Amino acid sequence: MDITGTFQYEEDAISAAQGLHAAGIKNVSLMSPIPMHAAEKALGLGKSNVRKFTLIGAILGGLGGFSMCVATALVFIMPTGGRAIIALPPYLLITYETTILIGVLSTLVGFFLVAKLPAWKNRPYRVEANVNRFVVAVESPSSNEVKKAEQIIRGAGALGIEQTGGTL
């Protein structure tokens, strides 16, 4: 059982979410049709950890790409064109590409991990959240939290409040 509250205005939703946080209620999520930079600040979401994935991925990609070039060249020594077996200019090009490739892929992984996606089942959701409403949801509150949560949400000016099972 989850609780969702629908809001017309961004500020109301943010204040509801902040109130819930302040009340020590866990598993609060604030849904919106567009990114809310104000809310992110309010909810204490600073620099995202995705950037670590990107950096580490890119570094690993670069190292991996260069090592791949060197290692595969050494499996069979195949001289070509009188050039060096470990030739820096071409290998750096490959390194450049793999840096980006792995950087992008690990950013993607980072996105999934940080955003905890994909998650297809049993989560509170209101379709309006993707149109023009803001939704504050409390996921599986304990029985003593239910009242308190509903109170805070209503207090912040919710258009409606619902107790639902996971709808998504």
Partner 1 sequence: MSVLDTIRKYREAGYYKEFDYHWGMTVDLDRCTGCEACVVACQAENNLPIVGESSFAQRREIKWMRIERYWEGEYPNAKLNFIPMFCQQCDEAPCETACPVFATYHNQDGLNTQIYNRCIGTRTCAVYCPYEVRYFNWFTYTWDEPLERQLNPDVSVREKGVMEKCTFCIQRIRQAKDLAKDDDRRKVRDGEVTPACAQSCPTEALVFGDLNDPESRVSKMANDPRGYQVLEEQNTSPSVVYLQKVHGDEEAI
Partner 2 sequence: MVMKKLFDHGEPSYEQVNQDVIKSLIETGPKYWMLLATTVGITVVCFIVPWMYQIHMGVGVAGMNRNAVWGTYLSNFIFWIGLSHSGTLLSAVLHITQSDWRKSIYRSAEAMTLFSLMVAATFVMVHVGRLWFIHWSFPIPNPMGLWPNFRSPIMFDVMAITTYLTASSIFIYMGSVPDFAAVRDYSSGLRRRIYTVLSFGWRGTSKEWHTLGWAYTFFAVLVIPLAVSVHSIVSWDFALSTVPGLHQTIFAPYFVCGAIYSGTAGIVTVMYCLRRFLGFERYIGKIHVDYLGKLLIALSMIWTYINIMELFTGWYSGSSAEIEFLKFRLFGFYAPMYWEMILFCAFVPLLMLFKSVRLNWNRMLVISILINIGMLSERFIIVSTSLPRKLLPDSYGFYFPSPAEISITVGSFAMFATLFLIFIKVFPAVSIYEVKETLNPLRRAEKT
Residues that bind partner 1 (CB under 8 A): 74, 76-86
Query: Whole-angstrom Cα distance, residue 68 to residue 75?
Result: 11
Between residues 86 and 109, which has the closer beta carbon with respect to partner 1? 86
Residue 82 contact among partner 2, partner 1, none, beta carbon within 5 to 8 Å by kind: partner 1
Angstrom distance (rounded) from CA 135 to CA 113:
23
Backbone angles phi, psi at 139, to 5 degrees: -90, 130
Length of the chain: 168
Cβ atoms < 10 Å from Cβ of 125: 18
Alpha-carbon span 105 to 38, nearest angstrom:
29
> Quick one: 66 or 134, whose CB is closer to partner 1?
66
Number of neighbouring beta carbons within 10 Å of residue 23: 13
Q: Which is nearer to partner 2, 106 or 150 (CB)?
A: 106
Q: Is 98 in the site for partner 2 (CB under 8 A)?
A: yes
Task: Count CB-CB contacts under 10 A for residue 146.
Answer: 16
Quote the CA–CA distance of 82 and 17 in Å, as a whole number. Answer: 67
Please report how close the Cβ of residue 95 comes to partner 1 at its closest, in angstroms.
Answer: 17
Of partner 1, partner 2, none, which one sits near residue 101, judging by CB under 5 to 8 A according to partner kind?
partner 2
- In the complex, the residues that contact partner 2 under the rule CB under 8 A are 8-12, 17, 29-36, 39-40, 43, 45, 47-48, 50-51, 54, 58, 65, 68-69, 72-73, 75-76, 78, 80-81, 83, 87, 90-91, 93-94, 96-98, 100-101, 103-105, 107-108, 110-112, 114-121, 123, 125, 127, 129-132, 134, 168
